[in-house]
Amino acid sequence: MPVTALRTTSTAQNGVGAFILQCKRLDFHYCDQWGSSKGMNTFLCSPLIASFAKAHPQITIHISPRPNTHPIIRGTYINGREKVICVRNLEKEQILQKVELLRDANGEKVKRVKGGRVVGSLNEGVRGVWDPFHGGNKDILGDRIVIN
């Protein structure tokens, strides 16, 4: 048997070919009585939400009352996680900022990226890993190494 093969799967690189927006659902919850929902109710009645929904047809938008609580926005993501933001006492422009934050999130837990400039790649480096046996002009003479 000269050579056999190992079965694997290819890995996705979102954005290299197609880009799939990771946010797939936004739930808006408001309250008719509480004053903390004032900005949220204005937002839901304003053209802001309609224009947002039109610009993002890949997100399903659900609006429902949640009486006697603060208003929240809940984003559901393709990886199955959720992200919830409480928007009590916020103006409608501030709420739009939160909506855009939820839209741009990928649903992963927020993690600190240590080390300053971190670049991740699936490909091997073109130069390879440094090793002491290549690159320098070395001659081996018996047990003595001469470095020119």
Partner 1 sequence: MKGLRLLRWSGSVLSPRTRPCCFLHKYQYQYRAQPFNLFRLQSSAAVPTRTIPEPEDDTLPPDPTDYTLLPSPPPSRAHSSARLSALHARLVLPPRLPLETLARCLIDPSADVNPNFNNASLSILGHDLLGYYTSEAILCRYPRLPTEVTLAAVYAYCGSKTLAAITREWGVEVAAAPGGEVDPGFLQCARQEAGNASVNGTGTQLKDLSNLSEEVSTRPNPEQQMRGWRQGASSKTVYDDYFGDEIKRTETDYSERPELRQEDAQRKAERRVTLEQASTGFVRALMGAVYLHAGKKACYNFFKAHVLSRHLDVSRLFEFRQPTRDLSKLCAREGFESPVARMLSETGRKSRHPVFVVGVFAGKDKLGEGSGGSLDEARIRAAVGALKGWYLYSPLEVRVPSEATEGKPWEPVLVDGGEVVV
**Interface residue list for partner 1 (CB under 8 A):** 1-14, 16-18, 20-21, 24, 57-60, 78, 122-123, 131-134, 138, 140
Specify the residue, 40 or 59, whose C-beta has the smaller distance to partner 1: 59
Min separation Cβ 18 and partner 1, Å: 4
Specify the residue, 32 or 146, whose C-beta has the smaller distance to partner 1: 146
Cα–Cα distance measured from residue 69 to residue 66, given in angstroms and rounded to the nearest whole number: 6
Query: Could you give the strand order of the β-sheet that contains 82-86, starting from the edge strand earlier in sequence?
Result: 60-65, 23-30, 72-77, 82-86
Min separation Cβ 41 and partner 1, Å: 22
Structure tokens at 41: 């109710």
Instruction: Provide the 8-state DSSP code for 126.
Output: S
Min separation Cβ 138 and partner 1, Å: 7
Specify the residue, 32 or 131, whose C-beta has the smaller distance to partner 1: 131
Min separation Cβ 66 and partner 1, Å: 20
Specify the residue, 78 or 105, whose C-beta has the smaller distance to partner 1: 78
Cα–Cα distance measured from residue 148 to residue 132, given in angstroms and rounded to the nearest whole number: 14
Burial 113-129 (b: 16+ CB within 10 A, else e): eeeeeeeeeeeeeeeee
